[in-house]
Amino acid sequence: MSFLSSFSEILDFNLVLVLVLVFVLVWTLDLTSPGSVPVIHNRETELNQFLLKTCPLLSQPYVAPLWGRSGHVQTWLYALIGRFGAPSPKGEELLMRLSNGSTASFKLFIPSAPHRPTGHDACVSADDLTVALCPGFCNHSEQRYVRSFVDFALGQGLRCAVLNLLGAPPNIALTTPRVFSYGCTQGFGAMVQTLKTRFPRTRLVLVGFSLGGNVVCKYLGEDRTHQDRVLCGLSVCQGYSASRSGPS
């Protein structure tokens, strides 16, 4: 009887310990957090109202899957496993010699089928949309998230150009003793100007991820001429302050 009593006590203790650990995990990983409606700060302009009306996803709550409710878990899984089955679209590598002697580069991707506009997008020529992308910190066109984004955009019939941050690509040697910075838009500007020259009828959508968001916002605000033939600029997960990131 004493053995059965001891075993029962151990079992009860282990059960309580497991329940406590489960509670701690659920609490620390926010597994029970409900989806929340995003807070949108915008001016009451015709364009903003049009975007909110035609993109209802912007005002709907996002309910993440169980494993995606904690940023720590997402970071841990991505660090250990990475992105599964990232596509590898083929593009043309282009080099640009900048005024300070640096050799910048970007990769140009051409879709197999032209973009087919619908609705309000019909005012834009079907084969004349280019996405100019600036990736995140120390990234380039071969990063998995960049390849996934480009592959999706190509599937929509959009031409894509991805800047390789100076010093990031392992196959392109530095020609000056400097690498990319948060405040320098020279390489991105050279890519945009090359696209405008190579495709004189194109309209541009500028996209920046993380550090690239700083570069895109700063580039658009530096000079009003930088906004010529630009439909819009998108900053995704931008970090730091674009206004304090330093002069070019």
pLDDT at residue 242 is higher than 80? no
Please tell me the total count of domains within the chain: 2
Return the DSSP state at 89: -
Same domain for 120 and 140?
yes
pLDDT tens digit sequence for 40-90: 888 888 888 888 888 888 888 877 776 667 777 777 777 677 666 778 899
86 inside domain: no
Token pair in block for residue 214:
């700083």
Q: Say how far apart CA 28 and CA 63 lie, in whole Å.
A: 18
Same domain for 163 and 76?
no
Same domain for 100 and 76?
no
Q: Tokens 């002697």 sit at which residue?
A: 101
| DSSP helix/strand/coil, 47 | helix
pLDDT tens digit sequence for 123-171: 444 558 999 999 999 999 999 899 999 999 999 899 999 999 998 988 8
154 inside domain: yes
Same domain for 152 and 204?
yes
Same domain for 19 and 49?
yes
Confidence label for 116 from pLDDT (cuts 50, 70 and 90): low
pLDDT at residue 214 is higher than 60? yes
Same domain for 60 and 105?
no
Task: Please identify, among 80, 115, 140, the residue that sits at the C-terminal boundary of a domain.
Answer: 80
pLDDT at residue 12 is higher than 80? no
Helices 186-198 and 211-222 pack at an angle, to 10 degrees, of: 70
Assess contact for 161 and 90: CB atoms under 8 A: no
Same domain for 124 and 185?
yes
198 inside domain: yes
CATH number at residue 206: 3.40.50.1820
Q: What is the domain extent for residue 227?
A: 92-244
Same domain for 132 and 230?
yes
